[in-house]
Amino acid sequence: MLGYRAALGLAGLLLIAPLPFSGALADGAPKSQDMSPADVIILANPQALQSSGITAARTAPGSISFTVPTKGPIIRAASKALPAPSYAKIDPDILSRLSEKSLATIMRYSGLPRERLQLDPSDIGLVLSTGQVDPGNAGFILVTRASLPQAQGLIDTGKLLKVTEVSAADTLAALKTSRSAQPPEDSLVGIILPVIQNESGQPLRKVCAIAAEGEAAWWSLGYRRLPALAQVPGIQASKTFEGVGDDLAGLYQLVRQGECQFLIVTPDQARALLSALGRDGIQASIWGAVPKSRLASNWALTEGYRTAESFEFARQINPMPSPRRLELLASLGVSTIGEFNAAADRMAQLKYGISRTSELVLQFLQDEAKGRPNRLTPTQIRQARELVKAEEDRQAAARERAETQARAARRLSLIPKCQAAATAWRNCTALRSEPSRCMSARGEDFSWFAINCVPDGSPR
């Protein structure tokens, strides 16, 4: 089946304090609920940032400037977080999105490029730090408004700098809006389920889909390889799926067995799955819908196609050429289907060939380019190459025949000597004498015999 089946840096960039609310947010919190205690306050730790060459300083009341060197170590989130059982019923998506939004906010305010930040999913989401706020060697600290008093003393003394706030209410509202909107039919939908733990106690979400071929496989794999998906707590970046169902029923069975915590499906399949999951009391929600066109482009980029346009060009050729062959075609002036068809028509007119495969068209164009300086046609270039190849094949066959004859003659010449050495070896063996010394006394070389002959006297 085509498609699929089946640091160095600050130790502790983010320290996340617990959210002060509980309850199943998936069912929708009342509009009057006060979400402000859950607002995330982002604090910077100047001393820890300085160890990675990053300067953070207060320039004015409520304003902080960051100086980030062009190059530097990867800043990794690795807080010593502990599970908080009271959050087991909270919709995992609200926690995930608060953490993701906080990370994006840090990037925007500090100027740290994305490649300098490596977010460890085991440190966000349902796995939260508890106890007193201790900055330690964390470069940035995330605390809730409810737990802010624990850090106020450090803020007052300048050991921590308040960067900005992330609104929990706005995040929840955006989440509700995305869930209430019907996903476009020309998209794929991600369904997120509560996170589980692996054998090491770290958050884990296995990503699954339904078996697919052709374009459907490109879309699903394009979704699996979205960079944003790798930021979801418990999901690791990968080009493949952790589980594949033969059909919708098979995928649902994998969920029931605890083998899938993130599903990639069509909108119709998503509606059916959410209905069945809700009926069986399994918490799930839509994570996001992505247009198929974007997914196909993302798949193409991860497969080596340089642009979405080059991928669309390749899709119109059967069989579909590899990224490398596309580059070779482009180097010869063919980068659109119109240019490809024109080259194929020219090839047919010159009686070079009638197959319109990328392999033959590329060979035609290469021969056309070779012949142009000497005013030779592509067919003449190919015929000359075939003559050279035929002569090379003839010479190779002649060499092989000569070598075979030489080996046969050599083997024939060894028969008398091997038979004499074998006779001496049998006599020495019967006398239980040491072979090398005994055969030497009889004018034979035991080492030569062992290398060139078998015990019955035949050459090897």
Stronger pLDDT, 278 or 86, i.e. the higher one: 278
CB 436 within 8 A of CB 447: yes
Maximum average pLDDT range among 22-26, 64-68, 292-296: 292-296
Cα distance between residue 286 and residue 91, in whole Å: 11
Predicted pLDDT of residue 72: 65
Cα distance between residue 174 and residue 180, in whole Å: 10
Cα distance between residue 455 and residue 378, in whole Å: 61
Predicted pLDDT of residue 261: 95
CB 200 within 8 A of CB 83: no
Sequence-distant (≥ 6) Cβ neighbours of residue 48 within 8 angstroms: 10, 12, 135, 136, 137, 138, 139
pLDDT at 15 over 60: no
pLDDT at 108 over 50: yes
- Other residues' Cβ atoms within 10 Å of the Cβ of residue 372: 12
Alpha-carbon Rg for the chain, nearest whole angstrom, is 35
Token pair, residue 421, equals 């050495």
CB 233 within 8 A of CB 124: yes
pLDDT tens profile 298-350: 888 888 888 778 888 998 998 889 999 999 999 999 999 999 999 999 999 99
Residue with structure tokens 């909108």?
267
CB 119 within 8 A of CB 54: no
Predicted pLDDT of residue 260: 96
Predicted pLDDT of residue 133: 56
Predicted pLDDT of residue 179: 59
Name the amino acid, one letter, at 115: E
Banded pLDDT at 22 (limits 50, 70, 90):
very low
pLDDT at 125 over 60: no
Cα distance between residue 302 and residue 113, in whole Å: 21
CA distances for 280 relative to 3, 29, 267, angstroms: 31, 22, 20
CB 296 within 8 A of CB 311: yes
pLDDT at 39 over 80: no
Query: pTM for this structure?
Result: 0.49
Predicted pLDDT of residue 202: 86
Banded pLDDT at 380 (limits 50, 70, 90):
very high
pLDDT at 80 over 80: no
pLDDT at 132 over 60: no
Give the dihedral sign, CA 167/170/171/172. positive
User: In the sheet that 285-291 helps form, which strands lie side by side, from edge to edge?
Assistant: 243-245, 207-210, 262-265, 187-192, 285-291
Helix axes 92-110, 168-180, angle to 10 degrees: 120
pLDDT tens profile 246-256: 999 999 999 99
Q: In 3-state terms, what secondary structure has residue 31?
A: coil
Predicted pLDDT of residue 422: 93
Give the dihedral sign, CA 447/449/454/456. negative
Give residue limits of the domains in the chain.
14-174, 182-299, 304-376, 381-452
Cα distance between residue 262 and residue 242, in whole Å: 10
3-state secondary structure 365-413: HHHHHHHHHHCCCHHHHHHHHHHHHHHHHHHHHHHHHHHHHHHHHHHHH
Nearest by Cα to 335 from 362, 370, 366, 301: 362
The mean per-residue pLDDT over the stretch 418-444 comes to: 90
pLDDT at 111 over 50: yes
Token pair, residue 237, equals 């970046």
Could you give the residue ranges of the DSSP H alpha helices within 122-280? 149-156, 168-180, 214-224, 248-256, 267-279
Residue-averaged pLDDT of the chain: 79
Predicted pLDDT of residue 61: 72
pLDDT at 31 over 90: no
Predicted pLDDT of residue 396: 93
Give first-to-last CA distance, the chain, whole Å: 48
CATH architecture assigned to 182-299: 3-Layer(aba) Sandwich (3.40)
pLDDT at 102 over 80: no
Banded pLDDT at 275 (limits 50, 70, 90):
confident
Predicted pLDDT of residue 89: 39
